[in-house]
Amino acid sequence: MDDYPYTRRSFIGGLAATAALQTMIASGQPAPPATADKRKIKVGVVGCGGRGSFIADLFHQHGGYEVHALADYFQDVADRCGDLLGVDKMRRFSGLSGYEKLIASGVEAVVLQTPPYFFPQHSAAAVAAGLHVYLAKPVAVDVPGCLTIEALGKQASEKNQLVFVDFQMSTDPINIEVARRIREGALGKVAQIQTFGTGSGVGDPPLGANIEGRLQNLTWLNDIALGGDYIVNYDIHSIDAALWVLDERPESASGASRIMRADPHGDAHDVCSVIYRYPSGVVHNHYGQGLNNKFTKDDECLLTVISGQVAYAQVNYIGKAFINGGAQAFAGGAVSNLYLDGANRNIASFYDRIVGGDFTNSTIRRSVDSCLACILGREAARRNGTLTMAELIQENRKLTVNLEGLKA
């Protein structure tokens, strides 16, 4: 159970770190011990595949955490990660109920890295148990899931618990400076935004007797109910950056999308074009593509371009961020390796907020809005028409997954 496969050359640093982690797993070499003299927060990681084991190791290396328990549907996956991090075999859980055993194992915080279909359910159980939650994006795959996460954020604040969502673009110092200047009028009035989400897609093998085979090797990205669709799971990075810069949520979307991968078995759409409209009048054009066709856009696969009356700007996941033109032009520079650096910043922030008693849960509002915006784009594009945010929320359509035949 993993995050989307970033394949552009600018992700070499993050991929190298993941490769090093996998080498350590294969060789049985333990991860470097934590050395920082900090209060240890006991965490449990649910979802121990490629991204999950990578994140678990970053928590271990931070120095302020003890990776106390692990859970994955597949026992061998939990065991590989557990061997690396030295987690007691009695605290490595598997099956659909593994997260419940992890929650009851004595952890203080839960780190969720499963397919996002499970996030609302797992988050609700963790908050009900009095635990903090570190949550990957997107927070859900449907409107009811988004509203659940929103409500959990409020409940957690009332109980002095933290629910934190791991978006990375808004952690980069250059992106932060570009966004600050835009909000102070560096572009003049913002007229238009363009966002891009281009990747290589993942394998989509034939369906089995149950969905067990869809729960690994990122196969779940091909299933809307499990992964949310490509626009919701991957493109959300650049779309979230647009909401972050504008500080508003789109009120409608129009679009079209289609399945174009060879021999598809899931229902996710590989390509989409969406036009969002905002209350402020900003027009936002989004382009998404998840095909293994060697396409690149100057190697910029998660890019947000903001055009104003006197200047334009870029905030980026990879590549450069800058402001070109106007009185507050900013040369900017290359955005750091957010796959690694952004995660490390967020893991540090999660720790600092817990020990500092900051339970405002300030990441929830935009994370929910960004997820709703992507779901709005997905639904408008699949219907080849126009849909308002109010209509989407009114529909409140819940996606379901058939879990029959899976190991409890």
In this predicted model, what pLDDT tens digit does every residue of 83-120 receive, in sequence order? 999 999 999 999 999 999 999 999 999 999 999 999 99
In this structure, the strands spanning 65-72 and 41-46 are parallel
E strand intervals along 148-221: 163-165, 190-199
Average pLDDT for residues 23-40, to the nearest whole number?
Answer: 52
Residue 6 has pLDDT above 60, yes or no: no
DSSP 8-state symbol, 138: P
Distance of alpha carbon 215 from alpha carbon 220, whole angstroms: 6
43: three-class secondary structure by DSSP: strand
3-state secondary structure 342-408: HHHHHHHHHHHHHHHCCCCCCCHHHHHHHHHHHHHHHHHHHCCCEEEHHHHHHHCCCCCCCCCCCCC
Structure tokens at 289: 């593509």
pLDDT in tens, 147-175: 999 999 999 999 999 999 999 999 999 99
CATH superfamily of 169-336+362-395: Dihydrodipicolinate Reductase; domain 2 (3.30.360.10)
Q: Using 50, 70 and 90 to split pLDDT, how confident is the model at 30?
A: very low
Task: Specify the amino acid at residue 402.
Answer: N
Per-residue confidence (pLDDT) for residue 296, from 0 to 100: 53
For the chain, what are the domain ranges? 9-165, 169-336+362-395
Residue 32 has pLDDT above 70, yes or no: no
**H helix runs in 1-74, sequence order:** 12-27, 50-62
Virtual CA dihedral for 240, 113, 132, 399, nearest 10 degrees?
70
Q: Which of 4-8, 126-130, 139-143, 294-298 is least confident?
A: 4-8
Provide long-range contacts, Cβ within 8 A and 24+ apart, for 275-279.
Answer: 276/242, 276/250, 276/252, 276/373, 276/376, 276/377, 277/250, 277/251, 277/252, 277/253, 278/246, 278/248, 278/249, 278/250, 278/251, 279/248, 279/251
Residue 295 has pLDDT above 90, yes or no: no
Distance of alpha carbon 306 from alpha carbon 324, whole angstroms: 11
Residue 38 has pLDDT above 90, yes or no: no
Q: Using 50, 70 and 90 to split pLDDT, how confident is the model at 12?
A: very low
Helix (H) / strand (E) containing 324: strand 320-324
In this structure, the strands spanning 92-94 and 109-112 are unpaired
Spacing of C-alpha 264 from chain mean position: 24
| Strand ordering across the sheet containing 109-112 | 92-94, 65-72, 41-46, 109-112, 132-135, 163-165
Per-residue confidence (pLDDT) for residue 336, from 0 to 100: 87
Per-residue confidence (pLDDT) for residue 314, from 0 to 100: 97
Residue 19 has pLDDT above 90, yes or no: no
Per-residue confidence (pLDDT) for residue 273, from 0 to 100: 98
Structure tokens at 85: 């991090």
Task: Specify the amino acid at residue 304.
Answer: T
Residue 18 has pLDDT above 50, yes or no: no
pLDDT in tens, 211-250: 999 999 999 999 999 999 999 999 999 999 999 999 999 9
Per-residue confidence (pLDDT) for residue 293, from 0 to 100: 83
Q: Do domains 9-165 and 169-336+362-395 have the same CATH topology?
A: no
Termini Cα distance of the chain = 17
Residue 387 has pLDDT above 50, yes or no: yes
Q: Using 50, 70 and 90 to split pLDDT, how confident is the model at 269?
A: very high
Question: In Å, how far are 40, 167, 235, 341 from 58, measured between CA atoms?
Answer: 14, 16, 24, 10
Distance of alpha carbon 342 from alpha carbon 72, whole angstroms: 24
CATH class of the structural domain 9-165: alpha beta
**14 phi/psi in degrees, rounded to 5:** -65, -40
Per-residue confidence (pLDDT) for residue 200, from 0 to 100: 85
pLDDT in tens, 74-85: 999 999 999 999
> pLDDT averaged over the chain?
91
Distance of alpha carbon 369 from alpha carbon 129, whole angstroms: 26
| Strand ordering across the sheet containing 302-308 | 330-334, 320-324, 312-316, 302-308, 190-199, 283-290, 271-277, 252-258, 386-388
8 A C-beta contact, residue 102 and residue 44: yes
Identify any residues that bridge with 272 across adjacent strands, giving them in sequence order.
Answer: 257, 288
pLDDT in tens, 185-214: 999 999 999 999 998 889 999 999 999 999
pLDDT in tens, 119-156: 999 999 999 999 999 999 999 999 999 999 999 999 99
Spacing of C-alpha 125 from chain mean position: 20
CA-closest candidate to residue 372, choices 169, 191, 167, 228: 228
